[in-house]
C-alpha cells in the first residue's frame, strides 16, 4: 500500500465507513481517563466471557467468565465477578454475553481463533449454542479429533471467573453440561478440566497488552465487572481486525493518536489561561509545538514501519506465518487421519508421519517467533523516540508555574475533553477501516480460503 493510500482519507468504492461502523459507534463511549482521574472509555453493561479449545467467556453483573482451552495451559488464568481467558497455539476465542447469557460480542484472541469464528453468526446466540457452535467448527477443522484419540488429545480446559460462589457453580455446570451434550451429539471423546480463575491484576495486564492507551493506575481502580466491560468494548471495537497483526497495528495507531490528541488538548487549554503567567506560557508553548510536531512525524513513521514489517503481504513475518499455517494444516490432517485408521501398521505409519509433522511445525513456529522478534527490534528505537517526545511535553508542562491553575482549567473542561476524544475515536475508527480496506479484505479472504481448504481436507481423511 502506498503512502498516499495509507495516510490520506480517500473515498473508496463499495464501502460506506459511516454506515459500516454505526453498529460499533452506537455501543462505544469515551470517558475521561487521564492523569487528573476519571473513568475509562468502555461499554456499560453485563458481559460474559468463555474460551473453548480456545474459547473465552466473559460475564458481568453477577458476572462469570469461562476460559476453555484445548491442549496447553493458558498464559493467563483467572477469580472474580467476570471472566476472561487467553491461548497460544490452538484457537483462542473470547465471547461476551449479557445478563441473559446472550452473546453480545465475539473475537479471536489469536489468528487461529479468528479463522474459526470468521463470518460465523455467533452474536445473538444463547451461550450454550455459542459453545456448541465453536466446538462443532473446531471439530470440522480437526482441532478436536474424531475417532480413536491419544490420551489428553481432546482435553478442553475452562477458566471461570466470578465473585459469587453460587454463580460460579451454576456457570461451571452450564459449561460442563453443554460440552457433554455436544460431545455426545458429535460422538467425540472429550475431557473437561477447570483451571484457576483470573485475578484482577491479570485482567489489568491483559487489557493493557491489548490496548496500551489504557493506564494501569486507572484500570486498577476499577471493579472486576468494569474490567470485563472494558474488554467487551475492545472486542466490539475490533470486530473487523481480521488478524492479530492488523489488530496490533490498530492498537499502536490508536495509542499514539490518543497521545497526540491529549498533548494537543493540554497545550490548547494552557494557551487559553493567560493572566499572570501568560508571557511564560506563550514561551513554553513554542517548545511544546516543536515537540508535538516531531512526535507527529515519528508516529507516522512507526505506524508505516509496523505495517511494512507485520502486515504487508511480502514481509518476512507474513511469509513465516504462511509457512506456519501450512505446517499446522498438515499436523491437523495427519492427526485426524491416524485417528480414523483401523489397521495397526498403517496407523503407526501415520503416527510416525505426525511426529515428523509436529517437529516441522515446531521449527516453523520458531522461525515465526524469530521473524516477530526481528521485526520488533526494528521499531524499538522509534518507540523510544516517541516515549521521549511524550516525556518532553510532560516535562515542559510540569515545570510551568501555576500548576493549580492548569489543573483547574483542565478539570473545568473535562466534559469538553470527553467530547473531543469521542470525536477523535470515531474519526480514527472510520479512517482506519477506510485506509486499510484492501488489507482487511485480503486478510479475510485468505483466512476464509484457508479454513475452507482445511475443512475439506479433514473431511476427506475422516472418510
CA–CA separation, 266 vs 284, rounded Å? 12
| Count of helices and strands (H, E) across the chain | 15, 7
Q: Is the dihedral of CA 324, 325, 331, 334 positive or negative?
A: negative
> What proportion of the chain, given as a percentage, has pLDDT over 90?
38
Domain borders along the chain are 1-30+241-463, 48-237
Q: Phi/psi zone of residue 294: left (φ > 0), alpha (ψ -120 to 50 degrees), beta?
A: alpha
Contact 333, 461 (CB under 8 A): yes
DSSP 141: T
Q: Is the dihedral of CA 30, 108, 163, 207 positive or negative?
A: negative
CA–CA separation, 397 vs 273, rounded Å? 13
> What proportion of the chain, given as a percentage, has pLDDT over 70?
79
Q: Tell me what pLDDT residue 49 has.
A: 31
Average pLDDT over residues 361-384: 86
Nearest to 51 by CA among 127, 115, 102, 151: 127
Most confident segment among 24-28, 168-172, 335-339: 335-339
Contact 227, 82 (CB under 8 A): yes
- Give one DSSP letter per residue of 21-66, joined into a string: HHHHHTT------BTTB-PPS---S--EEEETTTEEEEE-SS--EE
DSSP 343: S
pLDDT tens-digit readout, 339-353:
999 999 999 999 999
Most confident segment among 27-41, 227-241, 266-280, 372-386: 227-241
Please tell me the total number of residues recorded for the chain in this structure: 463
Contact 131, 178 (CB under 8 A): yes
CA–CA separation, 92 vs 108, rounded Å? 6
CA–CA separation, 422 vs 271, rounded Å? 22
Q: Tell me what pLDDT residue 163 has.
A: 61
The residues, any chain, with a CB within 8 Å of residue 357's CB and separated by 6 or more, are 327, 330, 331, 334
Q: Tell me what pLDDT residue 416 has.
A: 93
The pLDDT confidence band at residue 243, using thresholds 50, 70 and 90, is very high
Nearest to 68 by CA among 119, 100, 125, 116: 116
CA–CA separation, 78 vs 82, rounded Å? 9
Contact 206, 86 (CB under 8 A): yes
Nearest to 60 by CA among 208, 233, 193, 247: 233
Average pLDDT over residues 447-462: 96
Nearest to 225 by CA among 42, 426, 37: 42
Q: Which of 66-70, 233-237, 290-294, 397-401 bottoms out in mean pLDDT, i.e. has the lowest?
A: 66-70
CA–CA separation, 384 vs 111, rounded Å? 28
Which residue did the predictor score with more confidence, 76 or 409? Answer: 409
Which residue did the predictor score with more confidence, 202 or 10? Answer: 202
The residues, any chain, with a CB within 8 Å of residue 264's CB and separated by 6 or more, are 292
Average pLDDT over residues 355-379: 90
Would you state the cell numbers that stand for residue 72, as one nine-digit string?
496447553
Residue spans of alpha helices (H) in 42-145: 111-117, 127-140
The pLDDT confidence band at residue 303, using thresholds 50, 70 and 90, is very high
DSSP 155: E
**How does the average pLDDT of the chain come out, rounded?**
78
Q: Tell me what pLDDT residue 382 has.
A: 78
Would you state the cell numbers that stand for residue 394, as one nine-digit string?
510532560
pLDDT tens-digit readout, 161-215:
666 677 778 777 888 899 999 999 999 988 887 777 778 898 899 899 999 888 8
Q: Give all strands (DSSP E) within 52-201, no chain letters.
A: 55-59, 65-70, 93-97, 103-108, 155-161, 191-195
Average pLDDT over residues 59-71: 43
CA–CA separation, 128 vs 276, rounded Å? 65
Which residue did the predictor score with more confidence, 140 or 169? Answer: 140
Contact 398, 410 (CB under 8 A): no
Amino acid at each position: 500500500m502506498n503512502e498516499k493510500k495509507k495516510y490520506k482519507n480517500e473515498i473508496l468504492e463499495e464501502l460506506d465507513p459511516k454506515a459500516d461502523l454505526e453498529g460499533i459507534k452506537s455501543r462505544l463511549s469515551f470517558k475521561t481517563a487521564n492523569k487528573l482521574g476519571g473513568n475509562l472509555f468502555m461499554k456499560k453493561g453485563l458481559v460474559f466471557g468463555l474460551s473453548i479449545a480456545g474459547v473465552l467467556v466473559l460475564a458481568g453483573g453477577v458476572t462469570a467468565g469461562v476460559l476453555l482451552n484445548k491442549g496447553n495451559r493458558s498464559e493467563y488464568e483467572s477469580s472474580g465477578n467476570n471472566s476472561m481467558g487467553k491461548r497460544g497455539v490452538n484457537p483462542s476465542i473470547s465471547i461476551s454475553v449479557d445478563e441473559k447469557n446472550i452473546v453480545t460480542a465475539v473475537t479471536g484472541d489469536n489468528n487461529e481463533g479468528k479463522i474459526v469464528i470468521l463470518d460465523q453468526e455467533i452474536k445473538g446466540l444463547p451461550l450454550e449454542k455459542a459453545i456448541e457452535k465453536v466446538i462443532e467448527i473446531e471439530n470440522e477443522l480437526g482441532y478436536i479429533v474424531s475417532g480413536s484419540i491419544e490420551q489428553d488429545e481432546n482435553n478442553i480446559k475452562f477458566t471461570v471467573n466470578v465473585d459469587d460462589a453460587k454463580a460460579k457453580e451454576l456457570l461451571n455446570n452450564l459449561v460442563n453440561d453443554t460440552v457433554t451434550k455436544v460431545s455426545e451429539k458429535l460422538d467425540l471423546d472429550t475431557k473437561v478440566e477447570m483451571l484457576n480463575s483470573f485475578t484482577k491484576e491479570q485482567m489489568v495486564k491483559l487489557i493493557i497488552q491489548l490496548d496500551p492507551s489504557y493506564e494501569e493506575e486507572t484500570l486498577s481502580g476499577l471493579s472486576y465487572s468494569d474490567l470485563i466491560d472494558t474488554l467487551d468494548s475492545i472486542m466490539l471495537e475490533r470486530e473487523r481486525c481480521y488478524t492479530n497483526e492488523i489488530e496490533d497495528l490498530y492498537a499502536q495507531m490508536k495509542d499514539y493518536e490518543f497521545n497526540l490528541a491529549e498533548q494537543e488538548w493540554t497545550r490548547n487549554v494552557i494557551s487559553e489561561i493567560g493572566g499572570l503567567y501568560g508571557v511564560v506560557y506563550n514561551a513554553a508553548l513554542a517548545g511544546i509545538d516543536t515537540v508535538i510536531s516531531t512526535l507527529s512525524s515519528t508516529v507516522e513513521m512507526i505506524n508505516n514501519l509496523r505495517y511494512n514489517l507485520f502486515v504487508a503481504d511480502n514481509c518476512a513475518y507474513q511469509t513465516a506465518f504462511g509457512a506456519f499455517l501450512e505446517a499446522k494444516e498438515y499436523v491437523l490432517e495427519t492427526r485426524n487421519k491416524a485417528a480414523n485408521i483401523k489397521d495397526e501398521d498403517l496407523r503407526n505409519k501415520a503416527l510416525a508421519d505426525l511426529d515428523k509433522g509436529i517437529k516441522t511445525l515446531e521449527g516453523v513456529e520458531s522461525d515465526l517467533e524469530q521473524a516477530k522478534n526481528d521485526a520488533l527490534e526494528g521499531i524499538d528505537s522509534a518507540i523510544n523516540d516517541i516515549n521521549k517526545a511524550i516525556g518532553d511535553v510532560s516535562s515542559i508542562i510540569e515545570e510551568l508555574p501555576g500548576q493549580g491553575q492548569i489543573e483547574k482549567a483542565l478539570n473545568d473542561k473535562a466534559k469538553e475533553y470527553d467530547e473531543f476524544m469521542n470525536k477523535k475515536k470515531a474519526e480514527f475508527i472510520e479512517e482506519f477501516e477506510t485506509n486499510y480496506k484492501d488489507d482487511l479484505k485480503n486478510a479475510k479472504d485468505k483466512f476464509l480460503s484457508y479454513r475452507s481448504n482445511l475443512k475439506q481436507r479433514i473431511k476427506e481423511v475422516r472418510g
